[in-house]
Structure 1
């Protein structure tokens, strides 16, 4: 006996969906699907979004979308994993280019973090708000990568303090405050506002140096 309720496309078991998966003759590809998923999930939340909603926004049938991603959860995992991997890559590159000076290193990673979170504000806000929707084991792996990003900041601030470049008595607390501050720009920045993204990044560089008491050991 059935309940009479038709499940959302994403609620259908993968084995049942496999027969209806269709190779798209022409479509936006994976990147276009991910952009559509970010847009719809940013508007409706992860749990308020169905695979059909994403497919419609991407201009595909649900069957064509399943050719690229097996579920809504796979879409969310891909969005979040690509984001943190790219942020780690850019932060490490910025550190390598900054050289040995702690203040230069802190400025470089602050600028990287701010500009990354302003590059795709909906995507980065989704990564923060929908962490709770990420399933295991992906959630644990993702959290470990976030901790790696935080440790990059921790190492710069702690080393700068030990070398006398920074005077803060609370290096780890300052480091965490800086990361939260830089991540939060995605929630309020408007391209129509008085400051550009680069100007915001420059101001946050100065704020970060003030927070670690640069030059005041």
Structure 2
């Protein structure tokens, strides 16, 4: 028995529907949507970084972040699930990228240990002063991290310290540096770099590049082998004393600039 079709759908509607579906799922449109979402997410991160650094994590709400962007709070949930999700993303970006960059510098075979230490110190200072809000956020929000994020943060910080310590150890073995405890010396380097976030003012101290060069020179000078005296082991007390001495010299070198500022 032959079944006769009483109605044959016209191809126009399905064609339109298929075309709409195809357009909505086209790679070009999908890529544009993804790029737009990423740009907006980055803007949310920038506003969150500033507010977290100014007010602390606890003192900042999602509503504060939304208000600073001229948005309603529900709009933020399209980009981040919660305030904690925002903080963890910021921490991840702050520790993962820098560690990779330090490893790259430390692995360079065209530089000796002194040159690598100078380059590493310069890079840390540049990164810190280019993203001061992000650095202060880490300092102020460390106690607010989830156990998993805190573990990742601590591991990344230890790895970064190990990288600097290994370069210093290479310098000691090569006879370029005094006989120092590499790990204590690495803490000294980070002390010099991180402290800059608290006092640096571009109007007073010049460009980040100039300050990074001077601090890298200062850090390196503390370890260079003095051929005219026998090397002495670096203790915690002597490391702190050396750091204070270096900072005093740095302050003295900047005082003419400060004098001009006062006038």
> Could you state the TM-score of these two structures normalised by the residue count of structure 1?
0.82
Structure 2 gap ranges (5+):
1-35, 232-263
Bigger share in helix = 2
CA RMSD of the aligned region, Å?
Answer: 1.8
Tell me how far apart the structure 2 counterparts of residues 181 and 113 of structure 1 sit (CA, whole Å).
10
1:168–1:213 contact (8 Å) kept in structure 2 = no
Aligned residues: 192
Residue 67 (structure 2) aligns with: 56
> Could you state the TM-score of these two structures normalised by the residue count of structure 2?
0.68
Among 74, 79, 87, the alignment partner of 2:85 is 74
- Bigger RCO (CA 8 Å, 6+ sep): 1
1:195/1:168 Cα in 2 relative to 1: closer, same or farther (>3 Å)?
farther
Tell me how far apart the structure 2 counterparts of residues 137 and 50 of structure 1 sit (CA, whole Å).
22
| Counterpart check, 1:40 vs 2:32 | no
Structure 1 gap ranges (5+):
1-25
Residue 100 (structure 2) aligns with: 89
Whose radius of gyration is greater, 1 or 2? 2
2:113–2:171 contact (8 Å) kept in structure 1 = yes
SS of the aligned residue for 2:77 comes to: helix
Post-superposition Cα deviations, 1:136-188, rounded to whole Å, max 9, x if no partner, equal 11110111011111111010011211221101433321111111211221111
Tell me how far apart the structure 2 counterparts of residues 167 and 197 of structure 1 sit (CA, whole Å).
29
SS of the aligned residue for 2:58 comes to: coil
CA offset at residue 189 of structure 1?
0.6
Residue 128 (structure 1) aligns with: 139
Tell me how far apart the structure 2 counterparts of residues 208 and 83 of structure 1 sit (CA, whole Å).
23
Post-superposition Cα deviations, 1:28-85, rounded to whole Å, max 9, x if no partner, equal 6110000010111122111101111011112221111011111111111111110111
